[in-house]
Structure 1
Amino acid sequence: MQDFDVSSGSVIRRNELPTLQLVVPCYNEEAVLAESCRQFDQLLGRLIDAGKIAAASQVVFVDDGSRDKTWLLIEEETKRRPRAAGIKLSRNRGHQNAVLAGLMWSSADVVITIDADLQDDINVIETMIDRYGEGNEIVYGVRNDRSSDSVFKRNSAEFFYKLLAWFGVDLIHNHADFRLMSRRIIDALREYNEVNLYLRGIIP
């Protein structure tokens, strides 16, 4: 698990319980999928019981052309768990396209994208929902501790952010693809026709 902070965008007040879909891109995730599904399902159950999200909320696994048993496990989980759903891409399209496929398929009021490996702190999702309830359209999960990374990984990440900033790319520092987006933001995203998809640059 990693430590995360949240950073929020513009504010609009809300009243009704939102439907939430967790969009989880998957590529060769058979080793972790069952445990990931169990934890995501339990989290949704807690948020539903706490009156923070609607009962129709789901976790949606997007299989990005996996070569192992990922899709078979997704099918098993959707049969076992009513809150689980799956999307299978025809071939490997890459992480960003798998995330986008889940976003474009979603009909929920709120979507949170998160990787299947559970390296992101899923308990932060409740805070993200709270920020959405306060009226924020986008909420970013931002790592506040990189001490578990190697020196090379920390330095290369720092260089990467500085390089893209130099090129004028608007990025959220230490943010990957762990974020909440409202329906309004997803509808706006549909208007983009990027060939070289990079959501971390488009969303801000």
Structure 2
Amino acid sequence: MTFSLAIVVPAYNESDVIDIFHARIGAVLDGIDATARVIYVDDGSSDDTWQKLSAIASADTRAIAVRLSRNFGKEAAMTAGLDAADADAVVVIDADLQDPPELIPQLIARWREGFDVVYATRGERDGETRLKKFTSAAFYRVMERLSDTPLPRDTGDFRLLSRRAVAALGGLRERQRFMKGLFAWIGYRQTSVVYHRDARHAGTTKWNYWRLGNLAIEGITSFSAAPLRVATWVGLSAAVISFLYGIWVLIKVVAWGDPVRGYPTLMVVILFLGGIQLLALGIIGEYVGRTYAETKRRPLYYVESRLGGEPPVA
């Protein structure tokens, strides 16, 4: 039975690979009995990604190119693509070809079995350092422990969503977006397809350890209050230890006397308690900052240009 399919592709400075990606995704779509659209979202690229996407949209009637007014980040770019998608099934995939487009028919097959979300779980991972693999695995396992909404392990954004799953995501307009968590939070029937992740085909990754660290903080603070509880327990433990130490100092002075030689101990105690307080304030500040950003209710993104397909409905 013929169905409609939309492929959402966020792209940021992907000039080196975008033509090859479109050729491969086109070959995949040729073998699928579906009315297909490929929605490219240029997230304010500084190279000639937009020029190449414009050419693709002009040459291929299945392609739609959307350009955001600036770089809003991958999470916002994915949201823009999902907002533009109107199909029975929607696939989200990166343009760097680490996630193979040839896996899409397998995702569709599982969706036809009645699943609303079919996510691709990484098995083998080429082109990544041991440190990158370790930190990635550690992040998913920490999130599994901390979050009230368990995230599937070793799973990125590459997945298929049913129409009602996309509609559910469309109702989540929070500004501090962690899409992997939102995909899991909506629930519905979800399953996985394990695949071999290739090395990046061309270009360089945009995700250095600084950005990955910020994304990890975003995920933890968006889907868990555990850091606040940890700060509470650490503060309580420090207070108890300080109280017991104070009693010990008092007993020692009363029983044996004590010349004034406690400067190093005093400094250690002050620095310890000061460090604990600053850590707790930093954690609280992360949550307060996110609350402040949400209260401003700014739009998630602005579209500068759109080529191909039907004009968007206001």
Is 1:136 aligned to 2:115, yes or no? yes
User: Which residue in the other structure is 1:122 paired with?
Assistant: 101
Which residue matches 1:86? 65
Classify 1:147/1:106 alpha carbon distance in 2 versus 1 (closer, same or farther; 3 Å): closer
Task: Give a deviation string over 1:109-146, Cα, whole Å, max 9, x none.
Answer: 11000000111122211011111111111100111113
- 1:195 is the counterpart of 2:175: yes
Task: Indicate yes or no: 2:105 matched with 1:108.
Answer: no
CA drift of 1:195 comes to 1.9
TM norm structure 2: 0.56
Deviation at 1:148, TM superposition (A): 4.4
Structure 2 counterpart SS, 1:86: strand
CA distance in 1, matches of 2:20, 2:103: 18
- Identity percentage over the alignment? 34
After TM superposition, give the deviation of residue 192 of structure 1 in Å: 1.3
Larger Rg: 2
**Superposition deviation, residue 71 in structure 1:** 0.6
In structure 2, what is the Cα distance between the partners aligned to 1:96 and 1:102? 10
Structure showing greater relative contact order (alpha-carbon pairs closer than 8 Å, 6 or more residues apart): 1
Task: Look up the equivalent residue of 1:141 and give its one-letter code.
Answer: A
Q: Which of 154, 170, 173 is equivalent to 2:150?
A: 170
Matches of 2:55 and 2:103, distance apart in 1: 27
Q: Please identify, of 66-75 and 151-160, the stretch whose mean Cα deviation from structure 2 is larger.
A: 151-160
Q: Residue 17 of structure 1: CA displacement?
A: 2.1
SS in structure 2 opposite 1:203?
A: helix
Deviation at 1:147, TM superposition (A): 5.6
The Cα RMSD (Å) is: 1.2
What is the DSSP-based 3-state SS (H/G/I as helix, E as strand, rest coil) of the residue aligned with 2:76?
helix
Paired position in structure 1 for 2:160: 180
**8 Å contact 1:41–1:84 — kept in the other structure?**
no
Q: Which runs of 5+ in 2 are unaligned?
A: 185-314
1:60 counterpart (31, 35, 39): 39
Length, aligned pairs only: 183
Q: Return the offset for 1:163.
A: 2.0
Q: Give the TM-score, by structure 1 length.
A: 0.86
User: Structure 2 CA distance, aligned partners of 1:17 and 1:120?
Assistant: 25
Residue 42 of structure 2 contacts residue 77 of structure 2 at CA under 8 Å; is this kept in 1? yes
More helix by percentage: 2
* Counterparts of 2:160 and 2:43, CA distance in 1: 21
Q: Distance in 1 between matches of 2:59 and 2:140?
A: 41
How far residue 149 of structure 1 moved from its aligned partner, in angstroms, is 2.5
The residue type equivalent to 1:82 in the other structure is: T
Show structure 1 runs of 4+ deviating over 3 A.
none
**Does the residue aligned with 1:57 lie in a helix, a strand or coil?**
strand
The alpha-carbon deviation at position 185 of structure 1 amounts to 0.5
Runs of at least 5 residues in structure 1 that lack an aligned partner in the other structure? 1-15
CA distance in 1, matches of 2:137, 2:23: 34
Structure 1 residue 162 displacement after superposition: 2.1
